Amino acid sequence: MQGICHLTTIPLRALPTSKSEMVSQLLFGETYRVTSFENGWKHVLSDFDNYQGWINDAQFVEIPEDSTGDVVYLQNLLGELNNTNHDRLYITAGAQFRQNDEGHVMHRGKGWKLTGEVRKPLIKTNRDMLTSDSMEWLNAPYLWGGRTVMGVDCSGFTQVVYKLNGIHLPRDAYQQATVGETLAFLDETQPGDLAFFDNEDRMIIHVGMLLDSRRIIHAHGCVRIDKIDQEGIFNVDTGRYTHKLRFIKKIF
């Protein structure tokens, strides 16, 4: 059985209960496969990044038959879908859908009009656009498992920004660390490269995106810009290092 996220977001939970932690989110239009059922919950596997978790049965909708046309992504941090019944649905950057020739989005059997710019999946990633997209997220609050401007974690931030620019990254920081080519020095980097940070057990626990060889944008408390050197991230507000650099990856 396959489903689609028909809401702004659907939380993916670690266990089949509303009290369980949110481990990620599905964004509007993202699809998933149902792998099991339990007590009013469905265990699902995201088609975008193969991430798994539990969603409540009340938020399950099967993939509709009326979706035609090329997939596009919402470029704006926040957009709206409106229909003739004056229904309104907010969607966020990275939401995906198909538009017909009139520019309408088919959603639950009705044609909705979109307020917001869209972007087709890019054939070639542009570093200037990647950097520009990341800056739009400044001050978005940190939220464990989040993937939207209303709340985002470090790897959700890099994943969605890269999604808008045509590259599918895995969900978690340690998974993203397995992608791309390792660079030895910051001076070898370009804007858009990813920096990874570990803990005392050498486990990857954080990721951020380089704006240049001395600045990084990352989600820590909120999406912010800090200094970076070969030791790690230097918080410009507190005047201390917050994350220890493990390595840098060139993704494309």
DSSP letters spanning 102-142: TSEEEETTEEEEEES-EEPPPSS--HHHHHHHHHTTTTPBB
Which CATH number goes with the domain that contains 179?
3.90.1720.10
Interval 168-225: pLDDT, tens? 999 999 999 999 999 999 999 999 999 999 999 999 999 999 999 999 999 999 999 9
Mean predicted lDDT score pLDDT of the chain = 94
pLDDT at 239 over 60: yes
Same domain, 153 and 235: yes
Give the pTM.
Answer: 0.95
Round to whole Å and give the CA distance between 82 and 198: 44
Same domain, 246 and 193: yes
> Would you state the pLDDT for residue 58?
97
pLDDT at 22 over 70: yes
Same domain, 184 and 92: no
Domain that holds residue 26: 2-59
Same domain, 36 and 87: no
Which residues lie below 8 Å from residue 184, measured CB to CB, with a gap of 6+? Answer: none
> Would you state the pLDDT for residue 68?
55
> Would you state the pLDDT for residue 203?
97
pLDDT at 108 over 90: no
Round to whole Å and give the CA distance between 206 and 221: 12
Q: Work out the percent of the chain whose per-residue pLDDT is above 90.
A: 86
> Domain total for the chain?
3
